[in-house]
Structure 1
Amino acid sequence: MSPGLVQAQPAGCSHVDAVHAQENAVPLCVLSPEGGLVARFSVEIADTDEKRAQGLMGRTQLKPGAGMLFVYPSPRPVAFWMHNTLIPLDMIFVDDAGRITNVHANARPLDETPIPSRGPAQYVLEIGGGQAARLGLLPGMVLQPLP
């Protein structure tokens, strides 16, 4: 678990609704700065160069509540693009303590314009375009648990 994260999982964080569950996915929660549950996701983990390079390219859909968590060995500036990505995505950049630093909403499919983090990121959560706004995900909120 990353330093600075709440050690106990909030109620419901380990539970993923069957409609949101996907194979090879793990539960991930977004907490308010005070520790309250804001959102729950079922995410695939992209923790190797190969998995990070593939990302969500080629997917034609992403269920609500599903996503992909990109994990880097250490914090660093990162930039994403939408090359061969067919669906709009929200990109949520997260520091080494699990805190959201910035959110890029509705990245356009097939757009090759780089989308940078605003500073070092150790994690990037990609979810369906528009979900971050609908759920009220904001800088300062915390992802938990992190690998």
Structure 2
Amino acid sequence: MRAMRLLARSFTLAAALWLAATPALAQEPQTGLPRVKLSAGMHQIDAQVAGTPEQRSTGLMWRKEMPQHEGMLFVFEQPSTQCFWMMNTLIPLTAAFIGDDGTIVNLADMPARSLQSHCSAQPVRFVLEMNQGWFARKGLKAGDRLAGGPFGPAK
């Protein structure tokens, strides 16, 4: 766990240095990503899918708002400890780190415009970002399962 925290801090420092050395980035939210319908019990989610490195690196940056039933599903090529930060993200989010079978591994509330890293508790390929508090309001927690899209039909 200590090694993971050190890795997250190193990542945060490297990201901050990269941003400081990079010319102004486009300040437009990405739109037009593919979408997938997910469900968490009786709750429906309309998620944009960020599946390429470029799409994942932009994520939900520059969004001023997002409908409550929408989110973004980040899809990685292989399971790994995934860490997220919110430097240019204007709205607070909750990240659900999700196993291949749709099981929520852990949740992390992430404040807007923060360099703090939020990491998965174990290697995962999927991360679903929703408006902060969405999972709590729906009573969803680690161990609950999502269905639809890459997680298969509801059981």
Q: TM-score range by the shorter chain?
A: 0.7 to 0.9
CA distance in 2, matches of 1:24, 1:80: 21
Match in the other structure for 2:35? 25
Verify: 1:82 aligned to 2:86, yes or no: yes
Find the counterpart in structure 2 of residue 54 from structure 1.
Answer: 58
Higher relative contact order (CA 8 A, sep 6+): 1
Question: Once the 2 structures are TM-superposed, how far is the Cα of residue 23 of structure 1 from its aligned partner?
Answer: 7.7
The unaligned stretches of length 5 or more in structure 1 are: 1-21, 31-36
The corresponding residue for 1:95 is: 99
User: Cα deviation per residue 1:49-105 (whole Å; 9 max; x = unaligned)?
Assistant: 000000000000010100000011111101000010000001000012211000112
TM-score of the two chains, using structure 1 as the length reference: 0.76
State the one-letter code of the partner of 2:113: L
**5+ residue gaps, structure 2:** 1-31, 151-155
Pairwise CA RMSD: 1.5
Inter-partner Cα distance in structure 1 for 2:129 and 2:94: 6
Paired residues, what number? 119
Equivalent in 61, 64, 71 of residue 67 of structure 1? 71
Amino-acid identity (%): 36
Q: Is the 8 A contact 1:98 1:143 kept in 2?
A: yes
Richer in helix (by share): 2
Residue 117 of structure 1 corresponds to 120
**Secondary structure at the residue paired with 1:63?**
coil
SS at match of 2:135: helix
8 Å CA contact 1:70, 1:123 repeated in 2: yes
Q: Which has the larger radius of gyration?
A: 2
Q: Secondary structure of 1:132's partner? A: helix
Q: Write out the 4+ residue segments of structure 1 that deviate beyond 6 Å after TM superposition.
A: none
Matched to 1:121, the amino acid is V
Look up the match of 1:43.
47
Confirm or deny: 8 A CA contact 1:73 1:122 kept in the other structure.
yes
TM-score w.r.t. length of structure 2 = 0.73
More strand per residue: 1 or 2? Answer: 1
**Equivalent pair of 1:61/1:87 in contact (CA under 8 Å):** yes
